[in-house]
């Protein structure tokens, strides 16, 4: 089957995303944060943005409550989050990001920023900003919205 412009674009976006994530995950591993995945990083971003329990995290990530609970368990095992009792509803556990989790997200964000800077040094900041605007428009087409918080 011959590649079309649309499939080439989708492939480029997918490969660029995975290359960026893999580079950041490798750096986090070298800096004392083994076992981190893109899902875990995005989960911490969502928790920081207010996803305070498994249900809210599932909605933010576009996954089931059960999948979110597994992500939370992994984050807790790795020392990135804590579950604490909700002072209003004893049945509910609230998520807080630990100091280790904060460190990992800061290191991850800095690694993504360095990749963006390298891209800007290659093609120029104006082209990077134009690409970012164009991708934001792509997300708005036909009601497409990001699954993960950015």
Q: How confident is the model at residue 149, as a pLDDT?
A: 44
Residue 48 falls within a domain, yes or no? Answer: yes
For residue 51, give the H/E element and its range.
none
Instruction: Give me the CATH number covering residue 37.
Output: 1.10.10.10
Residue 99 falls within a domain, yes or no? Answer: yes
CB contact at 8 A, 61 and 42: yes
CB contact at 8 A, 33 and 107: yes
Number of structural domains the chain divides into: 1
Q: How confident is the model at residue 142, as a pLDDT?
A: 67
Question: Residue holding tokens 């800096």?
Answer: 31
| Model pTM score | 0.81
Residue 80 falls within a domain, yes or no? Answer: yes
pLDDT in tens, the chain (150 residues): 578 999 999 999 999 999 999 999 999 999 999 999 988 988 999 999 999 989 999 999 999 999 999 999 999 999 999 998 888 888 888 899 999 999 999 999 999 999 999 999 999 999 999 999 999 998 888 666 555 444
Domain that holds residue 86: 5-143
CB contact at 8 A, 146 and 139: yes
CB contact at 8 A, 29 and 11: no
Q: How confident is the model at residue 146, as a pLDDT?
A: 54
Residue 150 falls within a domain, yes or no? Answer: no
Residue 122 falls within a domain, yes or no? Answer: yes
Residue 71 falls within a domain, yes or no? Answer: yes
Question: Residue holding tokens 């995303």?
Answer: 17
Q: How confident is the model at residue 2, as a pLDDT?
A: 74
**26/28 Cα distance (integer angstroms):** 5
For residue 20, give the H/E element and its range.
helix 5-30
């Amino acid at each position: 089957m011959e590649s079309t412009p649309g499939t080439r674009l989708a492939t480029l976006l997918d490969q660029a995303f995975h290359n960026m994530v893999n580079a950041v995950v490798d750096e986090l591993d070298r800096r004392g944060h083994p076992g981190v995945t893109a899902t875990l990083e995005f989960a911490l971003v969502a928790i920081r943005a207010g996803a305070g329990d498994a249900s809210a995290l599932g909605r933010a990530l576009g996954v089931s409550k059960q999948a979110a609970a597994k992500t939370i368990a992994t984050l807790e095992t790795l020392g990135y989050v804590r579950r604490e009792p909700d002072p209003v509803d004893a049945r509910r556990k609230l998520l807080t990001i630990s100091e280790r989790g904060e460190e990992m997200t800061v290191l991850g964000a800095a690694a993504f920023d360095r990749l963006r800077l390298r891209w800007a040094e290659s093609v120029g900041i104006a082209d990077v900003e134009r690409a970012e605007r164009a991708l934001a428009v792509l997300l708005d087409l036909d009601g497409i919205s990001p699954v993960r918080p950015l």
